[in-house]
Amino acid sequence: MRDRILETSLRLFSIYGIKSITMQDIARECGISKKTVYEHFADKSELVEAFTGFLTNAHCMRITKACAEGRDAIEELVLSLRQTEVLVKSINPILLFELEKYHPTAWKKITDFKHQFIAKNIQDNLERGIREGLYRSNIRTNIMVHMRLMQLDSAFNPLHFPATEFDIHEVMYEVTEHYIHGIATPEGHRKAEQYLAAHHRIT
């Protein structure tokens, strides 16, 4: 039941944002009483914190799966891109704004996830690509990790890329292509063209 409530909250919050959704709305959508919701979560703030953990854990599993399936560092990166696009497309940008403004503890989970799991994922990918001869060996990986995080932050920020003017898929594709070509060897460029073309056809 707890997971059912969290999955329903994820769907409603992702569409309508957090502020406009009540505990009663969640109970109604689940087909249960509001009392049952409160048996699992003391209040909305606790639910939002749990929902944030649920969201980051789900994304962590998708990224981990993409990394395991990638035949090399560049395919791993492109598969991770696909999972990130799925996440971003399913979430109303107002959700992240409301988390940051009204739920600082929950928002900290998002920032911790980014600076710990995502940053490590980028670092590991860079090291893998260097070992495989697909990324330049003289890369300052600590700088590239920060640059990639800034790219992702900017791509997700509606102030930088308003939804009325930009499609998130195109933004993510372009910034990722730019990132890969900046760090790749000639062999890496060849594989990047192959994987990105296949990704573009699928999406």
Q: Which of 18-32, 74-88, 174-188 has the lowest mean pLDDT?
A: 74-88
Once rounded to an integer, what is the mean pLDDT over residues 179-183?
95
Residue ranges of the domains in the chain? 2-202
Per residue in 69-82, pLDDT (tens digit) is: 999 999 999 999 88
The answer to whether 49 and 18 are in contact (CB under 8 A) is no
State the average pLDDT over residues 88-96: 78
202 pLDDT tier (thresholds 50, 70, 90): low
pLDDT value of position 109: 92
High-pLDDT (> 90) share of the chain, %: 71
CA distances for 190 relative to 77, 104, 184, angstroms: 15, 44, 9
Q: At a CB cut-off of 8 Å and minimum separation 6, what does 87 contact?
A: 59, 62
The token duo for 10 is 């994820």
pLDDT at 203 over 60: no
Task: Output the pLDDT for position 162.
Answer: 85
Per residue in 132-154, pLDDT (tens digit) is 999 999 999 999 999 999 998 88
- How many whole angstroms separate alpha carbon 171 and alpha carbon 155? 6
Asked if the model's pLDDT at residue 156 lies above 60, the reply is yes
**Whether pLDDT at 200 is above 90:** no
Find the range with the poorest average confidence among 39-43, 170-174, 178-182, 185-189: 170-174
- The top-level CATH class assigned to 2-202 is mainly alpha
Average pLDDT for residues 54-66, to the nearest whole number? 91
Picking from 110-114, 157-161, 188-192, which range would have the lowest pLDDT averaged per residue?
Answer: 157-161
Dihedral sign from CA coordinates of 49, 54, 57, 63 = negative
Looking at per-residue pLDDT, the higher value among 105 and 159 belongs to: 105
